[in-house]
Structure 1
């Protein structure tokens, strides 16, 4: 377990520079594509978020398997097993730090996961509640939604629920999608504008955006500590809303109607935080401008300078990590000279009672190659065999461990197998 905790802690720490690098590359790509179609920017952002999940997973796999050629500048000479960690007392402090980092990460991730699960349960419970409007009104909007589904080529049954507690239309579900419509909109928004908002929701269903949004939430839960992950995920939501607007406008044949619906939604000052897909996602004014009068975006040089600064910081962190890796990789483990080891003396009482067993020892090799201390990590079950093993190992001479070419104290392991022939 200690080996896994150590590897996970190092993986989380290395993702600080990895995530920063991904953020810089993504920001540069999105800047270059600022006047291209939203689909291209959406693909770039989704790819970056997917890589930010795969990179640390691959890094962790390589660490646990001792791959010294990890592409993420992992530390090749770090001891990945509990046994190897114990070879140097300095690693105990590092392992304690990793335990603290992993514990804090796990606690925060668990809280966010419970929050996400609670949101999903709320959506599921809400979608099962009976409609709050009258039956005729419910049937009318169900028929309208059914017609929109046919126009969008959605073959699955799309349910509709009118809910009092919502502030904006929300789409949830993939296999059995449901559109939740606030009761306030039924009475306050003109029917043709509300239909335009429903067309926007139908575009999300057509594109299976709910599944991507769930994956985003999972990645945000696991990598919550990195701002680049939240920024990339937010850009995905912005571009996704623009794509859904374009898709709905093409099906309606009236971009202006959808723009008016969004404008009316902004006037009602609805909240913008929803776990599922909502019509009020993203910047409403930007979306309205995108529908009515799309204009080329000029390069923001202040943003470019900030991106350059982040890139330099990323390179600096990477250089530090690489330097630390090289320093640790110069470490050489101690080597025993078996010619100096005397055969351990078998206790007479153990011979008479035919005792056998395996003794696993941990011992400290000082800078002169002598055994400075020793302890029994796994007993044979017989105290006299354990003590005979300790006495035997203290007679051996070692070539001491070195770090950067200099002898250092180091813990190592050896085992004696006591068998009767």
Structure 2
């Protein structure tokens, strides 16, 4: 649930911002966040402006990293598919019969196929709609049958819990949120707990926890190189898993962790209460004006000046043919150098071609605007402008 929350939050934020103008988005509650949190307003505006200027580069870098991780994930899936193919694996009738018996014990209704692979180093559970267990050929001759049977039971537990599918979802979230250290920490913990849960399930169904511990100890003698996408018996920390099976420990409360969690929870509640505390109407108005980067001319600040004579939009031919007219209201972010960094439509004419023509003219204008000033210093500021479309 924690990992899914990490994925849902940015998706929800992205969807909530679709079709929302800059002014309405700022007035919706994010505008006064830096002031409520005690951040320096000019520093916050400079960071926001820098992000606006380099947003496309950040997105491109993120896409490149996601593409590389997707290629890595695809290579892992091809690796698994190659080992599961009939050219690299072969059936074993005796073990297949034992798999069928274990399927009944684990109450798995579908058919679980067993294949033997010569150049594999650890048992694997793969497949979603057609689950399959891959057994290393070396283990058939190098490990006692009763121990290998327990490793197979561990893989049956993964199939029972649909861990292969869940692991693919987990890997996809890791790929999209690769930049977030909390995602990697949560994901590592999930993989560790998943192996322990599969051990508990296999031990409970077979009634042989000590034999499973011996099988894991024997597995440590083999070299294993399976990818994370497959559910392998050697996952997690083998020694800790063996200790759990041989001598289960009663879970005790970690007071240090409890105190840390309590402190974090209290801080979050306090921050939430502070952000949602009602303030006077005049104070809210002032905070919104400052945080959106609009100059307060009553205090002697100067708003940026955008000259449409120098950045005149071209009337779209399609709009001329349809005789479209109206007024486009736009917010433009003007840097200290006079460059128009970004422009957003506040109120549309109702005709997208006319609105897009104004945005393109401002963002691609080669003539610099007059930058605004706050407290006598040039600052990155937003200014509201309008362009009237009319036919003579």
Q: TM-score scaled by structure 2?
A: 0.66
Rounded to whole Å, the distance in 2 between the matches of 1:376 and 1:164 is 70
Task: Tell me if 1:219 matches 2:153.
Answer: no
Quick check: 1:62–1:70 contact (8 Å CA) kept in 2?
A: no
1:92/1:129 CA distance change after superposition, 3 Å: same
Task: Tell me if 1:180 matches 2:134.
Answer: yes
Residue deviations 1:75-120, cap 9 Å, x none?
5899xxxxxxxxx999764322222222211111111111111211
Quick check: 2:26–2:288 contact (8 Å CA) kept in 1?
A: no
Residue deviations 1:356-412, cap 9 Å, x none?
xxxxxxxxxx95569563333521379xxxxxx9xxxxxxxxxx99979x9976444
Quick check: 1:158–1:177 contact (8 Å CA) kept in 2?
A: yes
Task: Tell me if 1:164 matches 2:136.
Answer: no
Q: 2:307 aligns with which of 364, 373, 379?
A: 373
What residue number does 2:156 align with? 202
Residue deviations 1:188-213, cap 9 Å, x none?
11111111111111111111111111
Task: Tell me if 1:99 matches 2:66.
Answer: no
Rounded to whole Å, the distance in 1 between the matches of 2:82 and 2:225 is 21
What residue number does 1:294 align with? 248
| Structure 1 residue 163, shift from structure 2 partner | 1.6
Task: Tell me if 1:129 matches 2:101.
Answer: no
What residue number does 1:41 align with? none
Which runs of 5 or more residues in structure 1 are unaligned?
1-46, 79-87, 336-365, 383-388, 390-399
Task: Tell me if 1:108 matches 2:108.
Answer: no
Q: Secondary structure at the match of 1:221?
A: helix
1:48/1:184 CA distance change after superposition, 3 Å: same
What residue number does 2:387 align with? 415
Q: TM-score scaled by structure 1?
A: 0.62
Rounded to whole Å, the distance in 1 between the matches of 2:5 and 2:171 is 15
Quick check: 1:328–1:403 contact (8 Å CA) kept in 2?
A: no
Rounded to whole Å, the distance in 2 between the matches of 1:284 and 1:272 is 15
What residue number does 1:263 align with? 217
What residue number does 1:28 align with? none
Q: Secondary structure at the match of 2:63?
A: helix
Quick check: 2:164–2:229 contact (8 Å CA) kept in 1?
A: no
Quick check: 2:154–2:199 contact (8 Å CA) kept in 1?
A: yes
Residue deviations 1:20-62, cap 9 Å, x none?
xxxxxxxxxxxxxxxxxxxxxxxxxxx1011111011111122
Which runs of 5 or more residues in structure 2 are unaligned?
35-44, 277-283, 318-326, 328-370
Rounded to whole Å, the distance in 1 between the matches of 2:86 and 2:194 is 29
Q: Secondary structure at the match of 1:238?
A: helix
Quick check: 2:125–2:134 contact (8 Å CA) kept in 1?
A: yes
Rounded to whole Å, the distance in 2 between the matches of 1:192 and 1:127 is 24
Rounded to whole Å, the distance in 2 between the matches of 1:100 and 1:176 is 42
What residue number does 2:10 align with? 56
1:380/1:306 CA distance change after superposition, 3 Å: same
| Structure 1 residue 416, shift from structure 2 partner | 2.2
1:369/1:308 CA distance change after superposition, 3 Å: closer
1:218-237 correspondence to structure 2 within 5 Å: 218-237=172-191
Q: Greater shift after overlay, 212-221 or 182-191?
A: 182-191
Quick check: 2:124–2:233 contact (8 Å CA) kept in 1?
A: yes
Q: Secondary structure at the match of 2:220?
A: helix
1:111/1:328 CA distance change after superposition, 3 Å: farther
| Structure 1 residue 215, shift from structure 2 partner | 0.7
Residue deviations 1:305-329, cap 9 Å, x none?
887898899999999x99xx99666
